Amino acid sequence: MVLTIATDLKADVRRILFNHWGNENAITGLAIAHLLGFRENRAVRRTIRVLISEGCPIAASVSKPKGYFIVENREEVDRYLQHLRDLLIKDATRRRDFKKGAMQHLENVRQGRFW
């Protein structure tokens, strides 16, 4: 999937993020959006995704301070990669469980049983 983002927005988001080096200086997507005059952060999140795909070293913190930041050292890189791996595992588990439950449900429906 290729996202297209206005060049000005990319430059603005990049400029803001390059003032936020390291996890301790993370800034939320909503704060970035507000700095740019947006009421919500959807465009900012999409822009960050594009910047990452272009090689910009943007990580996200899910613990305080929450938000996005430019990685400063190998530990931050490793921590974020582990976080992404954990998300993949949780998603794979959820997919497996949903598939099993959905198949059981459809079999019950086929047989005229409902829960």
Domain count, the chain: 2
- pLDDT tens digits, 15-43: 999 999 999 999 999 999 999 999 999 99
**Residues 96, 55 share a domain:** no
**Residues 63, 85 share a domain:** no
Q: Is the pLDDT of residue 74 over 80?
A: yes
Percentage above 90 pLDDT, the chain: 83
Question: Would you state the pLDDT for residue 1?
Answer: 44
**Residues 54, 80 share a domain:** no
Q: What is the DSSP letter of 23?
A: G
**Residues 100, 64 share a domain:** no
Bridge partner list, 69: 59
Domain with 102, as residue range(s), is 73-115
**Residues 89, 35 share a domain:** no
43-to-48, 55, 62, 88, 101 alpha-carbon distances in Å: 9, 19, 20, 24, 35
**Token pair listed for 82:** 């582990």
**pTM higher than 0.85:** no
Work out the pLDDT band at 62, boundaries 50, 70, 90. Answer: confident
